Amino acid sequence: MNVVGLRARPSSLKQDLMGNEDDEDSRPWRRRLLSAMKLKVSLSGVTWSSVVRVVVVFVLVVMFGYACYSLPVEKILKDFLVWIKEELGPWGPVVLAIAYIPLTVFVVPASVLTLGGGYLFGLPVGFVADSIGATLGATAAFLVGKTIGRSYVISKLRKYPKFQAIAIAIQRSGFKIVLLLRFVPLLPFNVLNYLLSVTPVPLWEYMLATWLGMMPITFVFVYIGTTLKDLSDVTHGWHDISKTRWIFMASGLVTSVILIAYIIRVAKASLEKALAENGGMDGLDFESPGLPIIADSSLSLQRPLIDRADTTADDLV
């Protein structure tokens, strides 16, 4: 028996196997298999929740665009108010309050509903329905921004540099800052709902501060609604109003405006003081790539959004 030949065979077999592996690398089916495995690895970070989130945000944006450019929103709201007046009876204020939710989520101004509430139900009932409805709508937008719309909201924060100092101050004085923001027209109401959703302010503080902070402006709109002669005046101006009614309405409106102006002045001073005390007025560079409140959307919602603050700029406003 040739022992040497037998001992030499394992090494030759090993070479044959290695050679076969090299040959298999060039086979088309093997290349396709490796490509499929690489694709699977690259997609492993994509979850169903992220896909659903993107789809929902896309659908909301499309619906909002369609509503803004295709639908006669004011006419629809006027017809809605007529329906409340003629069909719902005592359930009218409840339905009016609920109607704020979709309008606020889709960033549609709800002043028509506020005026209509004053016209339909008067100052006490209309004011309660409108203030609760506005708070419910703001809360719904807040929750949408905190969940499915979080990544999108964070991507838009660079358009509102003033909000960066506000977000820093909210970490320490959430209720106070939100309350003052509702008094001071620093940012649009519907935009502010979403911007606040990516800050660490607790939900109950946000709701209470929003409800209290919007009371003055809600009162003014409801009061104006009580002076309207017909529902058509809500969307098409005021006609056939007597001089006495004009004087009464103007005097009440001037008084309300003076009161609102005073509240805004005091609130603005308090807001600036709060921002300064919390370090929000100094030490921020809005042009730097590392914005202080930009955070990864995959982080826990309970984790504070603000991680750090740069120290290069002199002033915020």
Assess contact for 235 and 74: CB atoms under 8 A: yes
Q: What is the pLDDT of residues 64-101, one digit of tens each?
A: 555 555 556 677 788 888 899 888 888 999 999 999 99
N- to C-terminal Cα separation, the chain: 96
Residue 130 belongs to some domain of the structure: yes
* For residue 247, pLDDT beyond 80: no
Residue 222 belongs to some domain of the structure: yes
Residue 21 belongs to some domain of the structure: no
Positive or negative torsion for Cα 111, 194, 161, 308 = positive
Interval 95-120 mean pLDDT: 90
Residue 165 belongs to some domain of the structure: no
CB-based contacts of 225-231 (< 8 A; 24+ apart in sequence) = 225/114, 225/115, 225/116, 225/117, 225/118, 225/119, 225/120, 225/126, 226/118, 226/119, 226/122, 226/123, 226/126, 227/252, 228/115, 228/118, 228/119, 231/78, 231/81, 231/82, 231/85, 231/116, 231/119
pLDDT band with cut points at 50, 70 and 90 for residue 51: low
Q: What is the pLDDT of residue 317?
A: 36
Residue 174 belongs to some domain of the structure: no
3-state helix, strand, coil in the chain (%, to 5): 70, 0, 30
Q: What is the pLDDT of residue 304?
A: 36
* For residue 122, pLDDT beyond 80: yes
Q: What is the pTM of this model?
A: 0.60
CA distance 218 to 211: 10
pLDDT band with cut points at 50, 70 and 90 for residue 55: low
For 189, the domain range is 48-158+184-245
Residue 168 belongs to some domain of the structure: no
Backbone dihedral region of 199: left (phi > 0), alpha (psi from -120 to 50 degrees) or beta?
beta
Please state the domain count of the chain.
Answer: 1
Residue 307 belongs to some domain of the structure: no
- Highest-confidence segment of 7-11, 116-120, 274-278, 297-301: 116-120
Residue 226 belongs to some domain of the structure: yes
CA distance 249 to 11: 104
**What letter represents residue 156's amino acid?**
K
